[in-house]
Amino acid sequence: MGRVVKNYPPPLSVQLIDEYGRDPFLILISCLLSLRARDTMTYPVFKKLWERAKTPQELVALSREELEALVRPLGFFRQKARVLHAVSIALLQDHEGLVPQGEAELLSLPGVGRKTMALVRAEAFFKAELCVDTHVHRIANHLGLVETKTVEETERALKNIFPRERWAEVNRVFVVWGQQVCRVGRKRCVCFEALT
């Protein structure tokens, strides 16, 4: 699968892991920032935020105004600032300041849904998770691998197609493919040309 996207930059989570290491808080925060935002916008915002706050303690110490100013280039910046504060507080109060590994514990954090939970578990803790976002859902349907209406259905269907040891790779490849090769709004899709 990797040969299809070898000439394109990796997804944001992989870029940040390569640059900063496999810090669970980094992966969690970058994922929350990236929701409904392009990686090209999220990357510089994350870098500025990470210079100021690398732990839940440091993030909570930022004022709401300062945090909003840092994430302002992203859409929904007020909501994202609220979620980042709330997640950091929950980590400090309920998890001794550490990002939990368990599915239920991650899903109990403010703003964390299945996509974020799966990405954190796969990338930070090497758990077998298949993270399905809109790119993975769209590409899997476009290629005829699945015929599903929701990301949840796509996740279940892809887990039946790919072996567990390839689940993390499916996300990485399909996200890059959706961002770089088969973008929404193109007049002519080049997916199948990319395979040749």
Digit-by-digit pLDDT tens for the chain (196 residues) are: 545 556 666 667 777 788 888 899 999 999 999 888 787 788 899 999 999 999 999 999 999 999 999 999 998 999 999 999 999 999 999 999 999 999 999 999 999 999 999 999 999 999 999 988 887 888 898 888 999 999 899 999 999 999 999 998 888 888 778 777 776 655 445 555 544 4
Per-residue confidence (pLDDT) for residue 155, from 0 to 100: 92
Q: How far apart are CA 116 and CA 17, in angstroms?
A: 15
Task: Give me the CATH code for the 2-194 domain, please.
Answer: 1.10.340.30
Question: What radius of gyration, in Å, describes the C-alpha atoms of the chain?
Answer: 17
DSSP H helices in the chain: 12-20, 24-34, 39-52, 56-61, 64-71, 77-94, 103-107, 114-125, 134-142, 151-161, 167-176, 191-194
Residue 61 CA, chain-centre distance (Å), reads: 25
pLDDT value, residue 139 = 87
Tokens coding 3: 């040969």
The structural domains of the chain, with segments of one domain joined by +, span: 2-194
- Residue 196, pLDDT score: 44
On whether the CB atoms of residues 77 and 68 are closer than 8 A, the answer is yes
Residue 4, pLDDT score = 54
